[in-house]
């Protein structure tokens, strides 16, 4: 695959993921855990078929090879996916999306604490800047009564960071097996949480349709394209390119649903994005000079 093709694939993956928030906004009755269960259940067979096609045989040996790192990464994805759904249902999409963008910095901190990885000075500076933006957004959410959504968004970002660190722990190069495990765990966790909380697992047909479209279409499609693109695009550039999701998700809900956010959200989110773009650009520049 050519580099340019990989870049396009990663960009399109981000665009597909950006529609998730808009689709969750269409769900009327289903609770966040039921949405997690059905969306993950729709996602799982697509990823299994894709893995079988890639390996030219049964996907199970590759999944088993992921080992404990794959299991821990899958558990991290449960928090990432569940937190994202709850955040989109309880705070503005702009707030949630900008807070999700903190995941690379949380991964850097976790990598330092758990794996002893060296964090570059430029990344520490970007983390400090991002914390200022997060403080502005969370404080605004507290004033607006959306604290639960902000916390859920940060838990989602932390879950994705844990997913990344788990794979780096065992130097797992292919994230797809862990993603498959995560989809399976999320389907079970969502169903269990729904039943435990006394909420209906059987949801209206329209809500179910949106869950299936998210699982089969936007989520699975984005994962497949991102997996292909990541084979030729350096990780620093992946962080930069995948920010199309963060930028476009608030745009779709504004254009179609008329949802906007407070000035504090855009100020804080802008600070976080500047930190991310600076860190990613510095990484790309460092690779170019190496």
In angstroms, the CA 37 to CA 134 distance is: 29
Q: Are 258 and 101 in contact (CB under 8 A)?
A: no
Its pTM stands at 0.90
The confidence score (pLDDT) of residue 170 equals 85
The confidence score (pLDDT) of residue 262 equals 83
The confidence score (pLDDT) of residue 282 equals 78
* Cα separation values, 155 from 23, 81, 120, Å: 21, 10, 24
The confidence score (pLDDT) of residue 137 equals 83
For 24, the enclosing helix (H) or strand (E) is helix 20-26
The confidence score (pLDDT) of residue 21 equals 94
Q: Does 289 score more than 70 pLDDT?
A: no
Give me the phi and psi of 54, to 5 degrees please.
Answer: -65, -40
What share of the chain in percent tops pLDDT 70?
Answer: 95
In angstroms, the CA 133 to CA 119 distance is: 20
Domain map (residue ranges) of the chain:
3-289
Q: Are 178 and 167 in contact (CB under 8 A)?
A: yes
Q: How far apart are the first and last CA of the chain?
A: 23
108-135 confidence digits (pLDDT tens): 899 999 999 888 888 899 899 999 988 8
Binned at pLDDT 50, 70 and 90, residue 290 comes out as low
* Residue bearing the bigger pLDDT, 11 or 213: 213
Q: Please, what is the average pLDDT of the chain?
A: 89
Kindly report the CA angle at 194 between 21 and 155, in degrees rounded to 5?
50
Binned at pLDDT 50, 70 and 90, residue 244 comes out as confident
Q: Please name the residue that has the structure tokens 């254009």.
A: 255
In angstroms, the CA 245 to CA 257 distance is: 18
Q: Are 279 and 239 in contact (CB under 8 A)?
A: yes
Q: Are 257 and 92 in contact (CB under 8 A)?
A: no
Q: Does 288 score more than 70 pLDDT?
A: no
Taking only Cα atoms into account, the Rg of the chain, rounded to an integer number of angstroms, comes to 18
In angstroms, the CA 161 to CA 159 distance is: 5
Q: Are 160 and 98 in contact (CB under 8 A)?
A: no
């Amino acid at each position: 695959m050519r580099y340019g093709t990989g870049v396009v694939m990663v960009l399109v993956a981000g665009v597909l993921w950006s529609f998730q928030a808009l689709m969750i906004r269409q769900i009327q009755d289903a609770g966040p855990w039921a949405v997690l269960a059905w969306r993950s259940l729709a996602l799982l067979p697509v990823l299994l078929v894709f893995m079988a096609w890639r390996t030219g045989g049964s996907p199970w040996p590759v999944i088993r090879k992921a080992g404990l790192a794959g299991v821990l990464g899958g558990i991290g994805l449960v928090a990432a996916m569940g937190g994202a759904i709850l955040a989109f249902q309880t705070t503005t999409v702009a707030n949630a999306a900008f807070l999700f963008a903190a995941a690379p910095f949380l991964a850097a901190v976790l990598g330092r604490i758990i794996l002893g990885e060296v964090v570059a000075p430029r990344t520490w500076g970007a983390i400090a800047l991002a914390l200022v933006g997060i403080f502005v957004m969370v404080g605004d959410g507290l004033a607006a009564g959306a604290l639960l959504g902000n916390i859920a968004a940060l838990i989602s970002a932390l879950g994705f960071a844990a997913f990344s660190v788990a794979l780096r722990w065992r130097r797992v190069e292919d994230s797809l097996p862990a993603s498959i495990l995560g989809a399976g765990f999320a389907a079970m966790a969502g169903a269990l949480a729904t039943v435990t909380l006394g909420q209906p697992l059987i949801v209206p047909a329209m809500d179910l349709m949106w869950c299936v479209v998210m699982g089969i279409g936007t989520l699975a499609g984005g994962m497949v394209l991102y997996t292909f693109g990541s084979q030729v695009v350096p990780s620093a550039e992946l962080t930069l390119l995948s920010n199309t999701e963060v930028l476009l998700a608030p745009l779709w809900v504004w254009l179609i649903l008329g949802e906007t956010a407070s000035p504090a959200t855009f100020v804080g989110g802008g600070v976080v994005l500047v930190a991310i773009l600076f860190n990613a650009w510095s990484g790309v520049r460092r690779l170019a000079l190496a």
